Structure 1
Amino acid sequence: VPIVGIAKGKTRKKVELIFNKEAKIFKKEIMELRELFARVRDEAHRFALSYHKKLRKFAIKHS
């Protein structure tokens, strides 16, 4: 099963992709989509942060 992981680079600007052995077969195609992967990662992070803030507001309001 091909698996690809995405991580922020050391400078937080660069996108690093990590491949397992099976995913290396698709490396060229995956590299072409790295900006899409970065946007998906960023949107998931934005969603998680906004949801967490919503939970904190609710907890403070009802405490």
Structure 2
Amino acid sequence: MPGAPASGLSEQVSGFAYRLAHEEECLAVENHRVVTFPPEGAAVQQAEWDKLLAEQRHADSSGSRGTDG
């Protein structure tokens, strides 16, 4: 029967993932599809989420249900 995971294993895995993303010049994406690396990618994703939320709030306040046709 295997024992408990080694102490710090999660941090080691995360560290490896971030180093790999940096070396390969790609995104690091964590749970719930949140971009966490590079910082510029995280900022772009947040800006897009903010834009979508603002559009949704505007649609809700104008009584639109967001349906086509």
TM-score, normalised on structure 2? 0.44
**Greater share of strand residues, 1 or 2?**
1
TM, length-normalised to structure 1: 0.48
Choose between structure 1 and 2 for higher RCO, CA contacts under 8 A separated by at least 6 residues.
1
- Work out which of the two has the higher radius of gyration on C-alpha atoms and give 1 or 2: 2
